[in-house]
Structure 1
Amino acid sequence: MSTSSFESLNLDEFSLENPVNCSAGRRSRLVCLSRDSAHFAEVEDLFNKGWRHGKKVRPHIQGIFKILWPDSNLEPYLQYRKQVQAHVRARNEAGNEKLLFHGTNRACLLGETSRNILLCGLKECYLCSILRSSFDIKKCGTKNAFKRFGHGIYTSACSSKADDYSCNLSQDARLRTLLVNRVVVGRPYRRYRNAPNLVKPPDGFDSITGEIGWDLNYEETVCYTNDAVRPAYLVVYGHKPKNSPKPSFKTLMSTIFKTPLVS
């Protein structure tokens, strides 16, 4: 790895090797954020503002995990972002990088508690597969055959839309999860109609943005290279089941004998 690459990786806040991500001498791919942290507040705000489906009650965020990456996985993303920035000259100086949501299958209990941070090896757990090596365009369409804008990686600023694609395969799961991803949008080509045969954006553009209009009720962004997207946060949300109160003696006896007790 070149010196410049090593320095850029050290500066990246999602690097597993970054000293700021090392807690008590231990490193973990998932770091549970405290509720009073700036990153928690930022992601929570994106989630709440992005929940736009009027008929879906907005759930509570139960936890947010920061996702850390080995240098070898981060470098292609950072290099791609640098290349895009060179021609788009985005104000954020990061290739018009945005934080966008993505929902997928979870077959394990990752994130259910602050201690559930180990990735599983279940092949049907797309969440852990993505967290292990990031997105793979070759697997596009594995879950949903319909691809509105062709073969790419789909994300959205609309958290309630991404929630439609979040699915728990474990019967023990009580909460839901969404990925918040760093996406190098670059110069987006805006479309209002479906184009399922696309394999890349038009020349001079870096991504496709589906705009609200003819075929879309909520916007989405599609990238056509793996290096354009890296998961940044895992949002765990939903309503935790309340602990059932202990039955009173009267209720207990009534249940046993299946007859009501007189007050």
Structure 2
Amino acid sequence: MYSSLKTAAKHLRSPSKDSGKDDMCEVCGVRPKYVEGGYKHPYCGRTCARNRRGQATLPACLLRGCRTPGDASYGGFCSEKHAREAVRQRQVQACTDCRTLPRVVGDLCATCNAARRDGGTRLRELRSTEITFQSVADEFTRAWSNDKKPTVAKIVEVLPTRESRAAFDQCRKQLHATTGVHEISTYHGAQCICDFAVNDVTLCDWKSCGVCKILRSSFKQLAFDEQYSSGRHGNGLYSHQDPSRADRFVISSTSSPYRVLLACTVLLGGRPQDQTVQSTTGEFISINDGGTVVVNTADAIVPNYVIMYRM
């Protein structure tokens, strides 16, 4: 009998690796399971027991291989990172506007749906295979006058609010009726202190981020809520026909690999050969000195694309 007890004790003192794992808490996996009255609970204590009960009511993240509980605000994924990863892996369909997050409401993600509902600026990242991407990138590099050409990495299409588009159309009508009007394409450089388009195309709320301020307001607000820039032609909204000149005003976030320029459409008064067009009261309406373009109202300039590039 003594021999049998000794053998049993030896087995108890030498548990297998698998039995050791079975003794660990099923939630944290760090502390041993709690034993009470001879009963071994599946958890180490009350905290892990509560966490397990809370998790049990939530389905797992929809990304294949992830067991973290999902979150309805991320479309059933545990995080925005996993939501984007599921789109990248083509596990789910992408939002038709931003094309980076899963569809939650119809064809839109929650962010883009809210932007449409609130009437805000909408943004859509273009695929590099799209004709529009190629056209915008080709025009950008063709207009770049320096020998060292940039490499276009990403392009985001800007879909302005109805109010901004209506104001632009009304400005065109007014100029047509007074001085005449023509449109040109320009580029605007500003400070971008966030990681815009590195992971997604969400606009930040920093006052010092000129790019997001302009995109949100359609040039009605610049960085630090300024309405105009100051340059050699006085106060106004400045842009350039040559993107390499606009690049001089670009300030990028240190954590972003991209430089950022806005591709715009500008309404100028008068004829294409007119450098300065003034109103009947003598105030300038628009200036085009052959490189620098200045307008006196945000209604005369709209951002069409955000171009992310590397030098």
The answer to whether the 8 A contact 2:97-2:125 is kept is no
**How far 1:125 moved relative to its partner?**
0.6
The residue number in structure 1 matching 2:246 is 162
Q: Which residue, out of 150, 153, 159, partners 1:68?
A: 159
AA paired with 2:193? A
The residue number in structure 2 matching 1:231 is 303
Q: Secondary structure at the match of 1:164?
A: helix
Q: Which residue, out of 166, 172, 190, partners 1:81?
A: 172
How far, CA to CA, are the matches of 2:131 and 2:140 in structure 1?
14
The residue number in structure 1 matching 2:289 is 210
The residue number in structure 1 matching 2:275 is 190
CA 1:53–1:126: 2 relative to 1, 3 Å = same
AA paired with 1:172? S
Q: Which residue, out of 121, 124, 127, partners 2:208?
A: 124
The answer to whether the 8 A contact 2:98-2:125 is kept is no
CA 1:96–1:49: 2 relative to 1, 3 Å = same
How far, CA to CA, are the matches of 2:135 and 2:182 in structure 1?
17
The answer to whether the 8 A contact 2:98-2:201 is kept is no
Q: Which residue, out of 140, 148, 151, partners 2:228?
A: 140
Q: TM-score, length-normalised on structure 1?
A: 0.65
**How far 1:171 moved relative to its partner?**
2.0
The answer to whether the 8 A contact 1:53-1:161 is kept is no
Deviations for 1:40-70, whole angstroms, at most 9, x for unmatched residues?
A: 233212211221124xx21100011100122
AA paired with 2:279? D
The answer to whether the 8 A contact 1:67-1:231 is kept is yes
Q: Please tell me whether Structure 1 or Structure 2 has the larger radius of gyration of its CA atoms.
A: 2
The answer to whether the 8 A contact 1:187-1:206 is kept is no
Q: Secondary structure at the match of 2:299?
A: helix
Aligned-CA RMSD value: 2.5
**How far 1:85 moved relative to its partner?**
3.3
RCO comparison, higher one (Cα < 8 Å, 6+): 1
AA paired with 1:190? Q
Q: Which structure has greater helix proportion?
A: 2
**How far 1:22 moved relative to its partner?**
9.3
What is the number of residues matched between the two proteins? 190
* Consecutive unaligned residues in structure 2, runs of 5 or more: 1-95, 100-105, 116-121
